Chain A
Amino acid sequence: MDANACIIHALNLGKVEGTPLHDYYCTSVRCFVTNCPRESISIGTFPKVKDHSNKNITKAVVQLARKRGFGKEYYVMEKLKDIGTSNLARLFSVLVEYPETYTEDQIKEIETFYSSIQKDIGTYTDPNKSSMPEQHDLEFFASAHNLEPEIVHIISDDAHFAGYVDEIAASPYGLRVFPVKDLNRIMIDLKWPMPT
């Protein structure tokens, strides 16, 4: 799982008048994470993803709360941050921690790969986002590639992975991207239990 997917999983902050106060895709990610061990599939992440998630959880909670109208309810937001943070800690206690291994040569090679497939990914998330991945994305990519299984699936809500699903699948890296927004469809295809 990448950091964005982990944060979406953690953004399960309750309900307001019956309407869930959580990220739109939170239920799908949670269901997917629950299903994996049932299907004997190892699901985990890398230490740097944990760091990255912990660095972004406050901002994500504030954004969600403000979007839902909690403009000046700072005390509530502070408590929501605590819930988000503890949700994140709970998720990390469940996920397997995979080793983060890569070489500088691999990073350079992956960078070249991205240069060759570069396209406009602005429509996926932030229109100002560069279509080239950041250093931590490259390290994630290389570490995922270096994991033991022949095919490794990345659950992602990062444009640098989810915006290049077909290109990554066609590459020789043995990686497949499951964009968070497609998880429901993927679970239907796999005939996995769906969110109720």
Chain B
Amino acid sequence: MRLLRVERPTTLGVLFALSLSRDNAIHGKVRLNKTLALLQCEGFPIKNRFINQKLGPFDGTIHSDAEILEENHHITIEDLPTGHEEPCKVYKIKEEGLRHFREQFLPRIENLPHQRAFSSRISEIKMNFSSYRTPEIVERVHRDLLIDFTLEEFSKALDQNHESLKGLMTIAERRWDHGCPICLEILGATDFAMKSIEQVIDTELDNQKSGKNMIYYNTNNMINWADKLKDHAHITDVRLKDDQSSLWREWMGHRLFCLESIGETYGIIKPLRDERSLLEYIQAVGS
């Protein structure tokens, strides 16, 4: 009988990243880290806490997650000579790993909300990452997440997002039809996005964690969808999903979901994911 090492929740991310990659393999720790950071940014529910170091976002536990998967015969890790002191790690998922992933994890991924938006983002990562070289990936992640910004520049970018969201919230408040679920979705999403930014500015600016960058990235994206929805035609039926705005609503909802996941993972802001956490929140507000 073979003894398997207990897998951590974060090992799911490594399997998913490898399953997305060309030949089911990823060359190098940097590439693996960037893939996982972008997946997290796009709402993939992994609990890694990346930091902006070593060409960041970087999480030192990712390689040990991969080693657990290797011990459990789900993946292989090989050293590829590079001519430098440190060889390039090549992570490759095995057939057994793919099966394990499909059976254990795929149904959970398929149950994530906003599937259309999520799948579309994952497809884009898959397509880009298979054609980009590692330096291009690093460049793109750094650009999108403002990793190389100074504290002052980053703070200014957050302020701009906050202002835009505030403007969109004001428009939504003016147009608010209390029976329209889209109005409430815009107000709810912009409210949470603004609170997330405020939390980052209050407590997160001078630390190394990448959560604040991911908050920036998602609030920036949310502005786009909330802006498209700002002149929506009011509806009343909560079930209505085939109206003109439904795709934009899905994208905005997806960005809210990403902000909630990131806010929770990095301890920046507590989302209201279930009735229990909602009640705790309401009680706090009430007191």
Contacts and interface: CB of A to CB of B under 8 A. Distances in A.
Q: Which of A15, A62, A75 has the most CB of B within 10 A?
A: A75
Contacts of B6: none
A14 interface: yes
A77 B185 CA distance: 9
A15 B284 CA distance: 11
Interface string A63-93: 1000001101111111111010100000000
Interface string B128-154: 000000000000000000000000000
Contacts of A73: 191, 285
Nearest to A81: B184
B192 interface: yes
B113 to A, nearest CB: 10
A76 B237 contact: no
Q: Which of A21, A57, A62, A83 has the most CB of B within 10 A?
A: A62
Interface stretch (B7-15, B155-163, B206-214, B275-283): B275-283
Nearest to A59: B179
B108 interface: no
Nearest to B176: A62
Interface in B150-189: 169, 178-181, 184-185, 187-189
B185 A78 contact: yes
B184 A14 contact: no
Contacts of A58: 178-181, 184, 236, 238
Contacts of B180: 58
Interface in B64-110: none
B278 A83 contact: yes
Contact of A15 (B179, B184, B279): B279
A contacts with B: majority SS = helix
Interface string B249-287: 000000000000000000000001001001101110111
Given A55-B236, A59-B179, A81-B181, A75 B275 contact: no
Contact of A59 (B178, B188, B278): B178
A51 B237 contact: yes
Contact of A56 (B189, B190, B236): B236
A40 to B, nearest CB: 32
Contacts of B237: 51, 54-55
Interface residues of B, number: 28
Nearest to A70: B285
B178 to A, nearest CB: 5
B179 A78 contact: no
A17 interface: yes
Given A59-B178, A62-B178, A63-B178, A14 B279 contact: yes
Nearest to A16: B286
B281 A76 contact: yes
B114 to A, nearest CB: 13
B275 A78 contact: no
A77 B184 contact: yes
Given A54-B239, A55-B236, A58-B236, A78 B189 contact: yes
Contact of B283 (A16, A55, A63, A81): A16
Contact of B282 (A59, A74, A76, A78): A76
B192 A75 contact: yes
A83 B188 contact: no
B188 A14 contact: no
A57 B238 contact: yes
A16 B281 CA distance: 9
20 contacts: A14-B282, A15-B283, A16-B283, A16-B286, A17-B287, A51-B237, A55-B238, A58-B179, A58-B180, A58-B184, A59-B179, A62-B179, A72-B191, A75-B188, A78-B184, A78-B187, A78-B188, A79-B188, A81-B181, A85-B238
Interface of A: 14-17, 21, 51, 54-59, 62-63, 69-70, 72-81, 83, 85
Across the A-B interface, give the 7 residue pairs with the lowest CB-CB distance, nearest first. Answer: A78-B188, A74-B187, A59-B179, A74-B191, A55-B236, A16-B286, A75-B191
